[in-house]
Structure 1
Amino acid sequence: MFPSLSEYWRRQPSGYRPGATLLKVIQDLQCLRAEALEGAVMRFSSDDGGLVFDVREVVQAQFLMHLVLTEFVLQVPSTGAGQVRIELNHRGAVRRQGIACKVRAGDAQALSGLLAHLRGDPALLAALMPLDFKRLLIEREGRCWTVRLEHIGASEVVNRMPGFRRYIRLVPEQRQCLLQALHAFKDVLGKS
């Protein structure tokens, strides 16, 4: 008769417009070609085809409001096999002092070379240190690496009371760092 509380929280929040945030992301990433995929997903590619990644909307319902976050997804072929999951975060409480890598699945000793590259690659560090990301995961399933980066920008806040909708832009500096990070991940993971 009445839906359970878990079903209530899983449904899309009222006021959510699938794809509306992605239209604004297209404006922020005008330097790339955009192609609509199934659902609230867009594929972006550089003119030379050297970088191809997807952006999908992630909706988080909260009391009388919801967030529409964007997740940047890059896939890179892997030379190895086996399940791996690595979480990356900034180190430092007040100032960013480096990148911390936590192995959530897989053999940490077998991944030591990759972890050293992730912590020490100059191009990757130069891009990740100023980048404002909320979540960054690297996963390997089969013969494919998947990088999932949830940026703080390129997201939308929708409030029902008082009613407002605000898009948080992906500013040019952050866009540059994001694209550099995706290029660097492609280079580093392509060798692993």
Structure 2
Amino acid sequence: MNHYAISPKYSFWQKIGLLGKKRLPIGYQAGLTLNKVERDVSSYQCEFALGGGALAVLLIKPQDELIIEVTERVKTLFMAFIVYSHFTVSGACDNTIEARINVKTTGSMRKKSIRYVSKQVDGLAIIDLLNEYPIIQQTLEELDFNYCHIELKDGFWRCVIEPFTASEMVSRIPATRRYLRLTQQQRHRLLSALQLVSQLMRKRFPTY
């Protein structure tokens, strides 16, 4: 069953207002790639919801206390575009904390290492906490991802991972679509990393 949103019809003034916003590439249909992601994670409870701007959000529920949100990010290329998937876990935290921790990778695909980087004092404190749980670092080192970051702001924290797989290349000339499947091994590592970060943050902020 397809869940992607049908493009709405806009009035003249709505079209004028949209001119200043980032234009999506021709042929992009919100949620179409998420349908394929849903098949990759079909062993878990999944459901679709509407996000901002009527865009689709895939909710994965590996456990009762864990909800993973998956959204799409579109990158426009010449005569083509790529749809990436963002996997996000989030929760409440101390509203006085503001920090961003980026996960940087070094080495090769066969022997990769990661390190946590932040410019804020609060971020450095969270990094010290992360370093107490090497299983998180080990799991991220075994995961193929484009980027990963943890952000704490306005009383909420969230961890976002964009995996290398669960993405789709769409070309106009020639007209082709190529989806990189989220394999069982990478799916396990991705969901495990998100679950471990969620457990750590909930332990750090138990009363929020």
* TM-score in same-fold range (> 0.5): yes
What's 1:59 paired with? 74
What's 1:41 paired with? 57
Secondary structure at the counterpart of residue 116 of structure 2: strand
What's 1:187 paired with? 199
Alpha-carbon distance between aligned partners in 2 of 1:24 and 1:160, rounded to the nearest angstrom: 20
What's 2:117 paired with? 102
Q: 1:60 to 1:94 in 2, by over 3 A?
A: closer
Q: What amino acid does structure 1 have at the position aligned with 2:153?
A: E
Q: Please state how far the C-alpha of 1:93 moved relative to its aligned partner.
A: 5.0
2:99 is aligned, of 84, 99, 103, to: 84
Q: 1:97 to 1:120 in 2, by over 3 A?
A: farther
Where do 5+ consecutive residues of structure 2 fail to align? 1-18
Alpha-carbon distance between aligned partners in 2 of 1:69 and 1:145, rounded to the nearest angstrom: 22
Q: What amino acid does structure 1 have at the position aligned with 2:176?
A: F
Q: CA RMSD in A?
A: 2.1
Of residues 90-99 and 124-133 in structure 1, the stretch that sits farther from structure 2 once superposed is 90-99
- Deviation track 1:58-95 (CA, whole Å, cap 9, x = no partner) reads 11111100000000111022246322111102232565
Alpha-carbon distance between aligned partners in 2 of 1:120 and 1:91, rounded to the nearest angstrom: 20
Counting aligned pairs with the same residue, the percent is 29
What's 2:142 paired with? 130
Q: 1:173 to 1:136 in 2, by over 3 A?
A: same
CA contact (8 A) 1:58 1:68 kept: yes
Task: State TM-score, norm by structure 1.
Answer: 0.86
Report the number of matched residues: 182
Work out whether 1:166 is the aligned partner of 2:178: yes
Alpha-carbon distance between aligned partners in 1 of 2:109 and 2:61, rounded to the nearest angstrom: 35
Work out whether 1:146 is the aligned partner of 2:158: yes
Q: 1:18 to 1:98 in 2, by over 3 A?
A: same
CA contact (8 A) 2:101 2:123 kept: no
What's 2:44 paired with? 32
CA contact (8 A) 1:138 1:145 kept: yes
Q: Please state how far the C-alpha of 1:123 moved relative to its aligned partner.
A: 2.2
Secondary structure at the counterpart of residue 23 of structure 1: helix
1:156 is aligned, of 151, 158, 168, to: 168
Alpha-carbon distance between aligned partners in 1 of 2:98 and 2:123, rounded to the nearest angstrom: 11
Task: State TM-score, norm by structure 2.
Answer: 0.79
What's 1:3 paired with? none
Alpha-carbon distance between aligned partners in 2 of 1:9 and 1:144, rounded to the nearest angstrom: 27
Q: What amino acid does structure 1 have at the position aligned with 2:170?
A: V
Q: Please state how far the C-alpha of 1:40 moved relative to its aligned partner.
A: 2.3
Alpha-carbon distance between aligned partners in 1 of 2:149 and 2:123, rounded to the nearest angstrom: 15
Q: What amino acid does structure 1 have at the position aligned with 2:169?
A: V
Q: Please state how far the C-alpha of 1:120 moved relative to its aligned partner.
A: 4.7
